[in-house]
C-alpha cells in the first residue's frame, strides 16, 4: 500500500527532527508554544483525546485527526503512535493542507 502524501511529509519532518511524539511530550510542546500542529489518532483513548484536544484548544494549536495509531507510527518509522506534535511552521502548514484535502476525499 502506498503511503498517503501527508504520511510521507510527516516522515520527512521526522527525519528533519521537527516532530515530537507521545502524549506527555506533545502536551509539553503545546504548553511551551512550540507545537505548530498536533496530529491525533482517531483510536486514541478517550482520556488522551480529551487531554490533547483541551490543551490544543486552550493554546490555540491546530489539531488534525488521522485514521489510527498504526498509520501515524508508520509515518515516522516507529511503532504505533497516538499523538504527534509538529514543531516547524512550514511542515505544519503543508501537513494541515494535505490532511484537510485527504479528509475531504
- Phi and psi at 39, nearest 5°, equal -110, 125
Query: Which residues on neighbouring strands pair with residue 63, listed in sequence order?
Result: 38
| Phi/psi at 15 (5° precision) | -65, -30
CB-based contact 37:64 (threshold 8 Å): yes
Question: Would you give the DSSP letter of residue 67?
Answer: S
Q: How confident is the model at residue 1 (pLDDT cuts 50, 70, 90)?
A: low
pLDDT tens digit sequence for 71-105? 999 999 999 999 999 999 999 999 999 998 866 65
pLDDT tens string 22-45: 999 999 999 999 999 999 999 999
* Other residues' Cβ atoms within 10 Å of the Cβ of residue 101: 12
Domains in the chain, CATH or no CATH each:
5-104 (3.30.1330.30)
Amino acid at each position: 500500500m502506498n503511503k498517503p502524501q501527508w504520511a510521507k511529509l510527516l516522515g520527512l519532518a521526522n527525519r528533519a527532527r521537527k516532530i515530537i511524539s507521545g502524549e506527555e511530550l506533545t502536551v509539553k510542546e503545546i504548553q511551551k508554544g512550540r507545537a505548530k500542529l498536533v496530529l491525533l489518532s482517531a483510536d486514541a483513548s478517550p482520556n488522551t483525546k480529551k487531554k490533547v484536544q483541551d490543551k490544543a484548544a486552550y493554546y490555540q494549536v491546530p489539531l488534525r485527526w488521522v485514521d489510527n495509531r498504526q498509520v501515524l507510527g508508520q509515518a515516522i518509522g516507529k511503532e504505533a503512535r497516538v499523538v504527534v506534535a509538529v514543531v516547524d511552521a512550514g511542515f505544519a502548514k503543508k501537513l494541515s493542507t494535505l490532511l484537510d484535502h485527504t479528509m475531504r476525499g
